[in-house]
Chains A and B, each alone.
Chain A
């Protein structure tokens, strides 16, 4: 039962357990760093045991709580076997420490085991479904709250916070222009390049214009804008409202008779409703511009020809189909962002969790809505 000496820093004294006919004796240091093996040594009495064993601690050097714990536990274990371990010749300091540890011995409470069963799985599934239903309900409540407050503000225009609206338009719209413009320009470039490679095989290069125009105007321009805005804005709504919630600012507002929905939600969601279509327009223009550039470079279609064919062939309804979706996406992003912010609890972890889940939910919901729109427009033959 020799302790692993290689693991002990050099120069450190170790414990030693001697077993004689008169009793046991522990000498040396028993500290958390040097007690490996002591527990086993004490719990395997090498002698046929009598009713009482004395443990001489007169040669004990340093002892910390870990050492005292091991001695104390050995005593308890031997007591379970009907033996009594008596500590003798200990210094007052050691006695005090042993007494303290004895007093603090953790009382192990039996934990209820966590059985893995089908019923438990089903219960979990049921809770998740109920939770999802509850979540959808809350989103509708948030949407209803927004609409109700919006109409209330229409009747009480003096209560409306124009400054906040302008500020949020700046944050949500103006500052998003570079990233949205760059992204859709690149998407236009990619579409033109990929389309030209494929269409050249059929000698139908000229249709690359239709490809770019329809896909950007109808789908990609507005969808990708919404996804970028969901990532930027839903998270910032959640973070801003959530940190106010965390610091009880929202409760303070309520006690001061300020309605958080009017002050916080309406300007934010309204700013999204105003700016998302504008961002979508910018995305459309930049996407077409990128496509035209690439078509010019790759296929030699001049910008003039691109424009002529675009105006001649592409129906304006594609643009309308795209833009109809913008306010819906804006509502989805704003409502999810604000709702997640209100779900923040009292600690910083929940703020982080809610912020990331707001982004995931907003992007997911935007894509689901886009798919529903596609199905709807296809069935309506638009």
Chain B
């Protein structure tokens, strides 16, 4: 961790009516790391993601992305920030009326001077880099399985070579083999493309396999951050239960065996 902060959150407050989701939440995301965000249901992991991605402004607080105040910048500056970030939604959020290739081409269309042939080839490259077969490019989202939709969503998120990608539950609903393949893919992409990854997940295996650092959301803020090993020594009851529960032990054991 070079200490190069790309996203910094300070004093974030998110509220839905009387229901307070986040209060005084601080979090830093460093360049090149894979940060896993965990937390119980309803602790606002996805809300936090939407908050940073600019889909939902927080009620209070400060978000700095690439050194720029992301909440009080002009629209043009915000667009520039958005162009450097990519989001993969939980079920891919692909445009259902477009084929997978056309979906990946959508962000590329915004670039002037990129001819249609090269755009199409770049889309094919992104599809292939996401681990989809070539033939998937011609299919419509409804013809794909859940895992393939996620991969296609990732391909679209990566279309412009963003510096930061946000992944919302990348392995939820995948079979163990597909989930493991997705973990490998995330790791490989983050290494070769120098991606910074903000990953919301429930999946302990994903945390083990991909994340450099883990942030635990509890009691309306980021309670703890640290590596997997650090998490094992946290005394907080929820964190302890999460990382020492039966499922966690199984995941840890399997990791030790393969190591």
Are A32 and B125 within 8 A (Cβ)? no
A33 & B138 in contact (Cβ 8 Å cutoff) = no
The 0/1 profile, CB within 8 Å of B marked 1, for residues 81-123 of chain A is 0000000000001001101110011111101000000000000
Cβ–Cβ contact A108 & B134, under 8 A: yes
A3, A108, A111: the one within 8 Å of B113 (CB): A3
Q: C-beta contact mask, B163-184 vs A, less than 8 Å → 1, else 0?
A: 0000000000000000000000
Counting CB contacts under 8 A, is B127 at the interface? yes
Docked-complex contact A32 and B121, CB < 8 angstroms: no
Tell me whether B142 and A32 are in contact (CB under 8 A).
no
How does the 8 Å CB contact mask read for B30-55 relative to A, with 1 for contact and 0 for none? 00000000000000000000000000
A5-43 CB mask vs B (1 if < 8 Å, else 0) is 001100000000000000000000001110010010000
**B 108-129 to A, binary, CB cutoff 8 A, 1 in contact else 0:** 1001111100100110111111
B161:A109 contact, CB within 8 angstroms: no
Q: Which residue of chain B is the closest to A111 with respect to CB atoms?
A: B138
**Chain B positions within 8 Å of A349 at CB level:** 96, 142
Residues of A contacting B194 in the complex (Cβ-Cβ under 8 angstroms): 93
Q: Interface residue tally of chain B, by bracket?
A: 20 to 34
Give every chain B residue within 8 A of A31 (Cβ-Cβ).
161
Determine the chain B residues whose CB is within 8 A of the CB of A108 once the complex forms: 124, 134
Q: A63-71, A191-199, A313-321: which one contacts chain B?
A: A63-71
Taken together as a complex, chains A and B put the C-alpha atoms of A105 and B118 apart, in Å, by 13
B193 touches A100 (CB 8 A): yes
A residues 272-304 near B (Cβ < 8 Å) are: none
Which residues of the other chain, A, contact B111 by a CB distance below 8 angstroms? 32-33
Q: Give A361 to B125 CA distance when docked, in angstroms.
A: 44
Q: Is B74 an interface residue (CB 8 A)?
A: no
Q: Chain B at the A interface: mostly helix, strand, loop or mixed?
A: helix
Does A73 count as interface, using CB distance less than 8 angstroms?
A: yes
Among A3, A66, A104, max chain B CB count under 10 A is at: A66
Contacts A100-B129, A107-B134 given; indicate if A66 touches B193 (C-beta within 8 A): no
**Which residue of chain B has the shortest Cβ distance to A349 in the bound complex?**
B96
User: Does B134 lie within 8 Å of A106, measured CB to CB?
Assistant: yes
State whether A32 touches B161 (Cβ < 8 A): yes
B135 adjacent to chain A (CB < 8 Å): yes
- Asked if A97 meets B193 with Cβ closer than 8 Å, knowing A65-B126, A65-B161, A108-B134, the reply is yes
**A381 on interface, CB distance cutoff 8 Å:** no
Q: Is the C-beta of B160 less than 8 angstroms from some C-beta in chain A?
A: yes
Q: Is A312 an interface residue (CB 8 A)?
A: no
In the bound complex, residues from chain B placing their C-beta under 8 Å from that of A70 are 118
Q: Assess whether A109 is in contact with B134, with CB atoms less than 8 Å apart.
A: yes
Which chain A positions have C-beta within 8 A of B191? 96
Partner of A4, one of B108, B113, B126, B158: B113
> Which residues of A (48-68) have their CB < 8 Å from a CB of B?
64-66
Contact between A106 and B161 (Cβ–Cβ < 8 Å)? no
Contact of A64 (CB < 8 Å), options: B124, B128, B161: B161
- In whole angstroms, how far apart are the Cα atoms of A99 and B129 in the complex? 12
Contacts of B114 in A (CB 8 A): 32, 36
Q: Does A44 contact B (CB under 8 A)?
A: no
Query: Residues on A close to B: CB < 8 A?
Result: 3-4, 7-8, 31-33, 36, 39, 64-66, 69-70, 73, 93, 96-97, 99-101, 104-109, 111, 347, 349
Contacts from B to A (Cβ < 8 Å): 96, 108, 111-115, 118, 121-122, 124-129, 134-135, 138, 142, 158, 160-161, 188, 191-194
Add 6 more A-B contacts to A65-B125, A104-B128 (CB < 8 A): A36-B113, A64-B161, A66-B161, A100-B188, A101-B125, A347-B96
